[in-house]
Amino acid sequence: MRPTGTDEVTGRASGRTAIEAIGLGRRYRRRWALRDCTFRLPAGRICALVGPGGAGKSTLLSLVSGLTRPSEGTVRIGGEAPAGAAVRARTAHLAQGKPLYPRLTVAETLRLGRELNPGRWNARCAERIVREGRVPLDVRTGALSGGQRTCLALALAFAKSPELLLLDEPLAGLDPLGRHRTTALLLAQAAEHGTTVVLSSDLLAELDGVCDYLLVLGGGRVRLAGEIDDVIGAHALVMGAHRDTALPPAIAAHTVIETQTSGRRFAAVVRRQGPVAAGPWETVEPSLEELLLAYLRAPDAPALIAPSAEPVSARWRRRPGNKPGIPGMPRNGPPGPSGRPGGRYSPPGGAAGTRHDHHSGKGAAA
Ligand SMILES: Nc1ncnc2c1ncn2[C@@H]1O[C@H](COP(=O)(O)OP(=O)(O)OP(=O)(O)O)[C@@H](O)[C@H]1O
């Protein structure tokens, strides 16, 4: 189940924009770390930022937090430049290295956090996170374990009461309980305070149920952007038996993102160009993890910016060759075999949405 925040606090009803990037790019010497990055993230969402190593995720977070300046394009936080003092006060950025002063104790670090964030510091929140993570107050941060450092860094970020929380690999280094505590904290923060969260993570399975927005980068460019329901609804996972190496034409007629074969079975993730025809195969909605794995394994698959991620600013111009949105498709995809948007599979006599999870096996991609 994905989170559904109440409209009043999430900003969904107001349509407020937390982040809008237009043609955003950053170059290091001659090499582009991020290029032509265009998307909008509405306020109050928890956005998963996903991509292979070197895709540009940390670079994007640094640009959004104002730590790095763009080489081209623009990024706005609530309509303002990210480097402005007011925006920086409302933004917390947990960088990948979890930078802390190694000679300060945990208690001294929390005191410093309070002094640096007058009027915003939530001491009870910080103390609770540190206590639940069993981080000793009297130990120097340089002597903490990796998981304890992450816990303390999260405490500093949350206690700042940010409107925008940028978390670069916050779950890495945490044990399963720590990951569970952190994701619960994120959901509570977004629901209670309307905080917008951008969360980069490789733990694909753990993003489902936590995030409601998706931004996938690859090779420094946006590959997928939009509400998770919109993006998933534009795709289908088709599974069946095949007689030769080619996919059945009725399936190959869609945009095939990736095909896995195992023995005589195939499993194809397709971006639908309309309803998937009925046949001797099974059509279901892919899970978020299945969709992400398909795109990660198919770096040349065409990009998709769902309508929910299109910038609203007048500065945005659709460029020739740029095909945002889901052509010819209603917001949540075409009607599926069940006649409902999103095309959830309804097995005979079974509950709608029931699905089989045997999308595995090795084989050539289509
Ligand atoms: N300060 C820098 N100087 C030079 N190149 C850089 C710098 N920072 C990032 N890069 C390069 O930019 C590209 C994107 O890096 P970035 O750290 O943003 O990717 P990432 O998606 O966060 O990767 P990872 O998941 O491995 O942390 C990489 O090729 C990286 O080598």
CB-defined site of ligand 1, < 6 Å: 28, 33, 51, 53-59, 96
Nearest C-alpha neighbor of 130 from the set 208, 182, 83: 182
Which pLDDT score is estimated for 309? 92
Residues near 131 by Cβ (< 8 Å), separated by ≥ 6? Answer: none
In ligand 1, which atom is closest to the CA atom of 59? 18
Examine the fold and report which residue of 219, 247, 266 is the final residue of a domain before the chain moves on. Answer: 219
Strand intervals (E) in 120-163: none
User: Is pLDDT at 172 greater than 50 in this prediction?
Assistant: yes
Nearest CA to ligand 1 atom 11: 33
pLDDT confidence of residue 245:
73
Residue nearest to atom 12 of ligand 1 (CA): 33
Q: How confident is the model at residue 6 (pLDDT cuts 50, 70, 90)?
A: very low
- Same domain? For 115 and 141 the reply is yes
Same-domain pairing of 69 and 168: yes
Distance 25 CA to ligand 1 centre (A): 13
Q: Residue of the nearest CA to atom 24 in ligand 1?
A: 53
pLDDT of residue 317: 53
Rounded average pLDDT over 273-296: 94
Which atom of ligand 1 is the closest one to the Cα of 32?
12
CA distances from 37 to 25, 71, 179, 293, 321 (A): 6, 12, 29, 21, 15
Boundary-marking domain end, from 219, 243, 267 = 219
Mutate to test the pocket of ligand 1, among 57, 171, 198 (most ligand atoms within 8 A of CB): 57
Cα Rg of the chain, angstroms? 22
Residue whose CA lies nearest to ligand 1 atom number 28: 54
Q: What is the 109 CA–ligand 1 centroid distance (Å)?
A: 28
pLDDT tens-digit series, residues 117-129: 988 899 999 999 9
- Range name among 5-14, 63-72, 167-176 with the lowest pLDDT average: 5-14
Q: Give 316's pLDDT tier (boundaries 50, 70, 90).
A: low
Distance 200 CA to ligand 1 centre (A): 13
**In residues, how long is the chain?**
366
Q: Which protein residue has the closest C-alpha to ligand 1 atom 31?
A: 54
DSSP 305-341: E-GGGS--STT--PPTT---S-TT--TT--B-TTSSB
pLDDT bucket at 356, cuts 50 / 70 / 90: very low
> SS3 for 12-59, per residue?
CCCCCEEEEEEEEEEEECCEEEEEEEEEEEECCCEEEEECCCCCCHHH
The reply to whether 213 and 358 lie within a common domain is: no
Q: Is residue 117 part of a domain?
A: yes
In this structure, the strands spanning 304-305 and 72-77 are unpaired
In this structure, the answer to whether residues 51 and 116 fall within a common structural domain is: yes
Are residues 164 and 193 located together in one domain of the fold?
yes
pLDDT of residue 315: 60
Ligand 1 centroid, distance to 164 Cα (angstroms):
22
Domain limits for position 179: 7-219
Q: Residue 187 maps to which CATH number?
A: 3.40.50.300
Q: 76-84 long-range contacts, Cβ below 8 Å, gap at least 24?
A: 76/17, 76/19, 76/20, 76/21, 76/313, 77/18, 77/19, 77/164, 78/16, 78/17, 78/18, 78/43, 78/163, 78/164, 79/17, 79/20
Residue 308: per-residue pLDDT: 87
Work out the burial of residue 293: count CB atoms within 10 Å of its CB; fewer than 13 is exposed, 13-18 middle, 19 or more buried: middle
Is residue 59 in some structural domain?
yes
In a domain, 323, yes or no: no
CA 274 to chain centre: 26
Q: Are residues 79 and 140 in the same domain?
A: yes
The chain-wide mean pLDDT, for the chain, equals: 82
Q: Is the pLDDT of residue 323 over 60?
A: no
Supply the pLDDT for residue 333.
35
Which 3 state secondary structure label does DSSP give 74?
Answer: strand
> How many separate domains does the chain show?
2
Same domain, 136 and 270: no
CA dist., res. 138 & res. 32, Å (int) = 43
Q: Is the pLDDT of residue 24 over 60?
A: yes
The pLDDT of residue 325 is above 60: no
Instruction: Please tell me the predicted confidence (pLDDT) of residue 345.
Output: 26
Of residues 94, 103, 97, the one with CA closest to residue 143: 103
Q: Over pLDDT 90: what percentage of the chain? A: 57
In ligand 1, the atom with minimum distance to the C-alpha of 29 is: 4
Dist. CA 35 → ligand 1 center (Å): 12
